[in-house]
Amino acid sequence: MPYRAPVEDYQFIFDHVVGLAQVTATDRFSETTPDLTSAILTEAGRMCEEVLHPLQRNGDLHPAHLENGVVRTSPGFAEGYRAIAEGGWVSIGADPAHGGMGLPMTLTTAVNEMMSAACLSLQLNPLMTQGQIEALEHHASDAIKDIYLPRLVSGEWCGTMNLTEAQAGSDVGALRSKAEPNGDGTYAITGQKIFISWGDNDFAENVCHLVLARLPDGKPGTKGISLFLVPKYIPDENGAPGRANALSVVSLEHKMGLHGSPTCVMQYDGATGWLVGEEHDGMRAMFTMMNNARLGVGGQGIGAAEGALQHALAYAQERKQGRSPVENGTGTIIDHADVRRMLTTMKAETYAARSIALACAVAIDMQTATGAADWAARAAFLTPIAKAFGTDTGIAVSDLGVQVHGGMGYIEETGAAQYLRDVRVTAIYEGTNGIQAMDFTARKLMDGGEAAQALIDEIEAQAEGARAKLPELAEPVWQASETLREGLDWMLAQSDPNQRFAGAVPFLRAFARVLGGHYHLAAAIAEGGDGPRTRLARFYITRLLPEHEGLLAHATAGSDDLYALSPEDLSA
């Protein structure tokens, strides 16, 4: 079934919900005119529809495989990647000094989401490169920048991120990879990394790995870790790929989904690498890439949700079954109330998650453009929400998509199950959603809740302003924001972090629920209180927003009952 890029939805959210105009009003992004924004969305959408989406099933049915130590990619992926690179879609936000477009992260986020909806397996590749570009821009030496950035920006070379080891998953500080100085400014990197997305391919001239390893004098834990750039081929004096480095792909993981994306076990045997940033400060540099990726992964979830929604809607409008319960119905299953409930939930959730992600991107852009502390705080606060809620939404909406198809959803030929299989991992990588929630209730509240309170204040102010014209929508949003504030107060009062962590996931989701109501209300206000966006807002605010109360009850229950059952009790 064809994919249609939701260009109009992005434009509406830019103009009426997240305030892209405040970004383009800054000196930093003043060249991002409305015409340019429209052209970017239109052209990227066309590529996703015509080039990438036809590759979606190829990646699933004909997975990447390892052949004599070389990764062979799925049919058509090389041509699809070439379209991405030649269109400049790898480097929308990269510095123009190295060939990038220098456009806002907000536009990058929208384009990445469209690519994710069209073909998530392939979109993972440029997402990794984008994160590496940002990390090098902020932390690498000029010599590294001059060689690597123009080639990463152009898409000639690809980038990866190497954190995880078999014995050190989320506990990155337990890594064993080591780096020995070679005496010439380079380092010998030795160790093995797992779960490396797009660790190799057969279409890029070079693959550049950012690898975490420990120097001989590095302390135990994360504070002793350094970051190194380790290319597949060592650049010669002209910057062209030269001799092969001492690294290899040991194997490819056999995954539940994302079959077109080669997830590699990487082996480094004294491979030549260059230090990025300061010694023993690798985590700070890597977090630049990880924070970029966390918003991007949230967008992957939203893209999968959009793809699953379109797939399910098309099926529901074609599938005839049962007698229509409505007068002048279509005669297809979209007439049935439960099918309509599922499809409307899918659309309402996708809109809410998309708005949260784009609001996060706007905050990042405003931080970049102004350097203001309040924008930096907002960007940091929204990032775990965008990642966790975006990916949870992708999973839930894709699951509903299978249900809309009924028995045919369980049959692989329909393609409905692929969305669910592909998106499931997004709640795990770049920091599991549980870790995102723990960060949300710990580090993100270290300001005493100032960033959270500022957002709640804005939600209440908008609801207050809408009470006169849209009381049935504004009042529930206002009440929800007050309940959310009470939950925040409870979190802030807990001195034992485990009390917060026990309810971290439901608290993050409650915050996302209320933000979703806020952004749906904004759409209804912009539409004048009458139209399809208002009707969708009414559905969300009436049926989905009330979940925040149960979530906050869970969030503020503390940890005692979690430990009341012993491991033996759980296994009895």
Q: Give residue-wise pLDDT tens across range 181-204.
A: 999 999 999 999 999 999 999 999
> Looking at residue 514, what is its pLDDT?
98
> Looking at residue 174, what is its pLDDT?
82
Confidence of residue 116 (pLDDT cuts 50, 70, 90): very high
In angstroms, the Cα distances linking 184 to 187, 188, 280, 395, 413 are: 8, 11, 19, 48, 56
Q: Give residue-wise pLDDT tens across range 315-330.
A: 999 999 888 888 888 9
**Type of residue numbered 504:** A
- Residue 258 has which token pair? 């994302």
> Looking at residue 329, what is its pLDDT?
86
> Looking at residue 571, what is its pLDDT?
92
* Length in residues, the chain: 572
Please tell me what DSSP assigns to residue 462: H
Pairing of strands 65-67, 157-162: unpaired
Average pLDDT for 369-395: 97
Q: Give residue-wise pLDDT tens across range 20-51.
A: 999 999 999 999 999 999 999 999 999 999 99
Q: Give residue-wise pLDDT tens across range 217-232.
A: 998 888 889 999 999 9
165: annotated active-site residue: no
* Span of 282-296, 431-445, 519-533, 558-572 with lowest mean pLDDT: 282-296
Give CA 510 to chain center in angstroms: 19
**Type of residue numbered 353:** A
* Span of 138-147, 164-173, 335-344, 500-509 with lowest mean pLDDT: 164-173
Residue 264 has a CB neighbour count (10 Å cut-off) of: 27
Average pLDDT for 336-362: 98
Backbone angles phi, psi at 253, to 5 degrees: -70, 140
> Looking at residue 286, what is its pLDDT?
77
C-alpha radius of gyration, the chain, whole number = 24
Q: Give residue-wise pLDDT tens across range 252-277.
A: 999 999 999 999 999 999 999 999 99
Whether 470 contacts 524, CB under 8 Å: yes
Whether 438 contacts 432, CB under 8 Å: no
Does residue 291 have a pLDDT over 80? no
Whether 350 contacts 305, CB under 8 Å: yes
Separate counts of helices (H) and strands (E) for the chain: 20, 11
306, 349, 430, 460: the active-site residue: 430
Whether 232 contacts 191, CB under 8 Å: no
Whether 227 contacts 211, CB under 8 Å: yes
> Looking at residue 382, what is its pLDDT?
97
> Looking at residue 180, what is its pLDDT?
97
CA angle 547, 553, 559 (to 5 degrees): 135
Does residue 534 have a pLDDT over 80? yes
Confidence of residue 283 (pLDDT cuts 50, 70, 90): confident
> Looking at residue 524, what is its pLDDT?
98
State how far the Cα of 190 lies from the Cα of 273, in Å rounded to an integer. 10
Global pTM reads 0.96
Does residue 287 have a pLDDT over 90? no
Q: Classify the C-alpha dihedral 110-111-116-118 as positive or negative.
A: positive
Residue whose entry in the numeric block shows the structure tokens 């994710």? 116
Helix (H, G, I), strand (E, B) or coil at 276: strand
> Looking at residue 66, what is its pLDDT?
96
User: Which residues make beta-bridge pairs with 191?
Assistant: 268
Share the mean pLDDT of the chain.
Answer: 95
pLDDT above 70 covers a percentage of the chain that reads 100
Q: Give residue-wise pLDDT tens across range 153-162.
A: 999 999 999 9
